[in-house]
């Protein structure tokens, strides 16, 4: 049975790509927050977007520094991810408190978190106010990923190397396995059968008027 839901449920139905840990640096201070609302926006030029509420400290950090990094965690950082999303960097140095080792990004002046499976470094191309969030449009400056985790596509071979996805509340998931699709052959018997069934359904509908 299908239930009608509130319009707020749409955002959880659209479980997005991996959750990202957004790291920022401004005047010697660092911050990190998880974001579930990130997305590719353009292939050429390569642009991504991340929607951040103006109340987040990260919002100001990006606005002032004009750069940010997306660190893609695996399941080892599950609890850290939840912690980074429950405390603001305005009064706590979350990076220091977490004791996660960091290393310098290649192209921007931001720290990256050790133990993530992939990293995307960005400069700010644009900031668009959309509803109650700001969409930070990132111009990609550098990208790197663990070879075991990503080889042109997410490999999804080792659970420890899979990106973490956010479902809502305190629930997360990792993907199962890759499925390779094969476009149906229009000449195949199965396709012919499908066409025949569709025609039959159409005839029935027409007969019922």
Ligand X SMILES: Cc1cc2nc3c(=O)[nH]c(=O)nc-3n(C[C@H](O)[C@H](O)[C@H](O)COP(=O)(O)O)c2cc1C
Q: Catalog residues that contact ligand X under the rule CB under 6 A.
A: 19, 31, 33-37, 51-53, 56-58, 81-82, 85-90, 166
> In terms of CB distance, is 88 or 98 closer to ligand X?
88
Q: What is the DSSP letter of 159?
A: G
> In terms of CB distance, is 17 or 46 closer to ligand X?
17
> In terms of CB distance, is 19 or 100 closer to ligand X?
19
> In terms of CB distance, is 57 or 111 closer to ligand X?
57
Nearest of 203, 196, 163, 178 to residue 81 by alpha carbon: 163
Min. distance of Cβ 126 from ligand X in angstroms? 17
Contact 113, 100 (CB under 8 A): yes
User: For the residues of 39-96, what is the DSSP string, one character each?
Assistant: EEEETTTTEEEEEE-TTSHHHHHHHHH-EEEEEE--GGGHHHHHHHTTS-TTTS-HHH
- As a 3-state breakdown, the chain gives helix, strand, coil percent values, each rounded to 5, of 25, 35, 40
Min. distance of Cβ 21 from ligand X in angstroms? 9
> In terms of CB distance, is 35 or 108 closer to ligand X?
35
Min. distance of Cβ 180 from ligand X in angstroms? 30
Min. distance of Cβ 170 from ligand X in angstroms? 8
173 HSE (CA, 13 A, CB side): 10
* Residue nearest ligand X, CB atom distance: 85
Min. distance of Cβ 22 from ligand X in angstroms? 8
């Amino acid at each position: 049975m299908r239930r009608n839901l509130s319009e707020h449920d749409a955002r959880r139905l659209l479980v997005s790509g991996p959750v990202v840990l957004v790291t920022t640096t401004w005047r010697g201070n660092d911050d990190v927050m998880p974001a579930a609302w990130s997305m590719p926006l353009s292939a050429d030029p390569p642009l991504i977007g991340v929607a951040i509420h103006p109340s987040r400290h990260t919002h100001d950090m990006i606005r002032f520094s004009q750069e940010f990094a997306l660190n893609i965690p695996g399941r080892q950082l599950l609890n850290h991810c939840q912690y980074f999303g429950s405390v603001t960097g305005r009064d706590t140095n979350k990076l220091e408190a977490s004791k996660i080792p960091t290393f310098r990004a290649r192209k921007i002046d931001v720290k990256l978190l050790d133990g993530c499976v992939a990293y995307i470094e960005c400069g700010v191309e644009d900031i668009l106010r959309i509803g109650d969030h700001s969409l930070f449009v990132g111009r990609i400056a550098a990208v790197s990923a663990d070879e075991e985790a990503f080889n042109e596509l997410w490999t999804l071979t080792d659970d420890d190397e899979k990106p973490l996805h956010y479902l809502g509340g305190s629930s997360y998931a990792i993907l199962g396995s890759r499925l390779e699709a094969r476009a149906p052959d229009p000449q195949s018997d199965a396709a012919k059968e499908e066409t025949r069934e569709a025609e039959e359904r159409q005839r029935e509908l027409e007969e019922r008027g």
